[in-house]
Amino acid sequence: MGCQLRSSFYKDIISVMVSSHDEYKTAQNFVLFSRALSEYPSTKSIYYQTAHRILAYFERDIRSYTLIMNSMDEEGEDSEIVKNVKYFHDNPTIKTQSELTELCVLLSDYVKYAKLLKNRNSFVKAMDLLDDEDAPVKETVNTIYQISTKMVEAYNVSNIAAVSHQFDSDNIEGMKTVVAQTKDARSADKCIITSFKGVNMLLSPGYLSGCVYVWAGLPGNYKSGMLLQGHVDTCLYNEHIKNTLNGKQPISIYISMENSMAQTVRRLWSLLYPMADMASYTVDEIVDMINEKLTSKGFRSVLLYYGYREKSTADIANIIRSFNTETTEVVALFFDYLKRIRPASRDEVARASEKGELNAIMNEFKTMAIQFNIPVVTGHQLNRMAAQVVDQAVAHGGYNKSAEVLGRSQIGSAIEVLEVADFLGIVNIEQSGDQKDLMLKAAKRRDVEKEGADITAIRQPFYSQDSFALQPDIMETTTLSQPIFFGKQMQNFVANI
């Protein structure tokens, strides 16, 4: 490999940066390309020079092909470089997301082991001296030892950095990579929104990749509803996610280990067609109507049912892998719910108690979210104390007081559920006369956007007193969500940690 990149890598970098696919031009890719070129310069290569010049335009926020060409024309860029830019725009070497991913993996390895590779020639020359009868053996061995020591140190540092994702002020390029990942994670193209403006505001700004979301509530108070609704909303209102997949079909997966498939399908119908009675349609009509809705934006909907503790978190990860193919990719997982699954860990502490299991499950879900770069959304129970305070409030006429009496202390079984979650919301159905609302309260938000940060609890109306479906407002000019709390109040403390 030597101390240069393959010539094809320079061409691939040019191809990506002048591509018409804006989703290729992420901050993370830009930083990786910059590091690769700085670690492996090849001033004699016209392809290296071309890539280096395009990166200079990127640093000035000139990123589209048209703007790059106009700028090159105005600034009198070298004709060979201009010629290369035109050629690789019209004849890209990187044509798919999978090809780009492969390129980035290879470049990452080159960058990761740069110091090792740069010692290669010195090491080979020193080894060759051992065959030279006139070379002093002791000095040659000492030289080999010194170079080997440097290589071992470089190898160890490379692997430590890779495992711990260091943000070290002594490694500016590594810091740039982390910052680029941070910027890309919150880009609009990667955020999954719901059909409710108020819920998106609480989620701040929606379901983000690499994060774990928990909706907690009492039995029969819409935990499963929020999970199934999230799955439906992913398919109906997130066409922008396809911009990051380059032709792959996005898949949203909803897995229930509580409600049967028949129960889930009935609820699915209620969410998709809240005003229509399923009994009025034939089987074929129902299937066509469900598919028409869920696939209208090019998504694939997958609903799965497994029995109580039939699967572990490792099994769920393998299910996701089975759907990640050359043509499809899972973009979100909705799992119903925490206490119904087994942890993958065989650690005695993880299996000794419910608390230990929940801690392991939450951490394994977090690993899964990061590994597959998707949001993992699940549900959890509130404890008996929560039921008592709600019952007491209702008994005293407080039908709409659940936001005041429910909080973090009532998360069932394990505080680790709250600790590991990136977001934990509490839900409760409030019904007074003909008015039926869902109270949603943010008990923990790890990341909060400025807009709506002061609103920490809302009510979202159902279609009717008998309806399973909430009224969506994402396509409306105004929100139907009614704010309950503004800011941190004594009864509504929210930990932004």
Query: Which residue, chain included where needed, has tokens 């399908």?
Result: 265
- Please tell me whether residues 348 and 404 are part of one structural domain: yes
- Please tell me whether residues 226 and 314 are part of one structural domain: yes
Q: What is the DSSP string of 73-128?
A: HHHT--HHHHHHHHHHHHS-S--SHHHHHHHHHHHHHHHHTHHHHHTHHHHHHHHH
**166 in any annotated domain:** yes
The secondary structure of the chain in percent helix, strand, coil, rounded to multiples of 5, reads 50, 15, 35
- Please tell me whether residues 156 and 217 are part of one structural domain: no
Closest by CA to 33, choosing from 173, 146, 140, is: 173
Residues of the chain with pLDDT under 50: 1-2, 157-164, 488-497
pLDDT at residue 163, rounded to an integer:
38
Query: Which residue, chain included where needed, has tokens 């798919």?
Result: 96
User: What's the pTM?
Assistant: 0.71
Query: Which residue, chain included where needed, has tokens 């090491």?
Result: 123
Domain boundary among 163, 182, 201: 182
**347 in any annotated domain:** yes
Alpha helices in 273-353 (DSSP H): 283-294, 313-323, 348-352
Q: What is the CATH number of the domain that holds 122?
A: 1.10.860
Counting the structural domains of the chain, the total is 2
- Please tell me whether residues 306 and 358 are part of one structural domain: yes
- Please tell me whether residues 117 and 256 are part of one structural domain: no
Q: Distances in Å between the alpha carbon of 22 and those of 65, 94, 97, 229, 244? A: 10, 13, 12, 30, 9
Q: What is the largest CA-CA distance in the chain?
A: 101
Helices 283-294, 223-237: crossing angle, 10 deg rounding: 70
**2 in any annotated domain:** no
**400 in any annotated domain:** yes
Which residues fall within 8 angstroms of residue 208, CB to CB, at 6 or more apart?
A: 185, 186, 190, 191, 192, 375, 422, 447
**492 in any annotated domain:** no
- Please tell me whether residues 173 and 192 are part of one structural domain: no
pLDDT at residue 282, rounded to an integer:
96
Closest by CA to 192, choosing from 226, 222, 231, is: 231
Determine the residue type at 195. S
**310 in any annotated domain:** yes
pLDDT digits (tens, 9 = 90+) for 114-162: 776 666 667 777 777 777 777 677 887 887 777 777 666 655 544 444 4
Domain boundary among 182, 215, 236: 182
- Say how many C-beta atoms besides its own lie within 10 A of residue 401's C-beta: 20
Domain boundary among 137, 157, 182: 182
Give the separation between CA 294 and CA 286, rounded to whole angstroms.
12
- Please tell me whether residues 145 and 105 are part of one structural domain: yes
Q: What is the CATH number of the domain that holds 351?
A: 3.40.50.300
pLDDT at residue 119, rounded to an integer:
64
pLDDT digits (tens, 9 = 90+) for 335-389: 998 999 999 987 776 677 888 899 999 999 999 998 888 999 999 999 889 999 9
| DSSP letter (8 states) at residue 472 | P
**376 in any annotated domain:** yes
Determine the residue type at 94. I
Which residues fall within 8 angstroms of residue 282, CB to CB, at 6 or more apart?
A: none
Give the separation between CA 307 and CA 257, rounded to whole angstroms.
5
Q: SS3 for 413? A: coil
Determine the residue type at 109. D
- Please tell me whether residues 359 and 397 are part of one structural domain: yes
- Say how many C-beta atoms besides its own lie within 10 A of residue 366's C-beta: 17
Task: Domain of residue 54: give its range.
Answer: 7-182
**494 in any annotated domain:** no
User: 341-348 — which CB contacts under 8 Å span 24+ positions?
Assistant: 341/257, 341/309, 341/311, 341/312, 341/313, 341/316, 342/309, 342/311, 342/312, 342/313, 343/312, 343/313, 344/312, 344/313, 344/314, 344/317
- Please tell me whether residues 269 and 387 are part of one structural domain: yes
pLDDT at residue 152, rounded to an integer:
63
- Please tell me whether residues 162 and 219 are part of one structural domain: no
Closest by CA to 329, choosing from 382, 292, 291, 374, is: 374
Which tokens hold the place of 421? 């979650």
Element (H, E) at 253: strand 249-256
- Please tell me whether residues 193 and 163 are part of one structural domain: no
Give the separation between CA 29 and CA 101, rounded to whole angstroms.
10
- Please tell me whether residues 394 and 335 are part of one structural domain: yes
pLDDT at residue 448, rounded to an integer:
75
- Say how many C-beta atoms besides its own lie within 10 A of residue 437's C-beta: 24
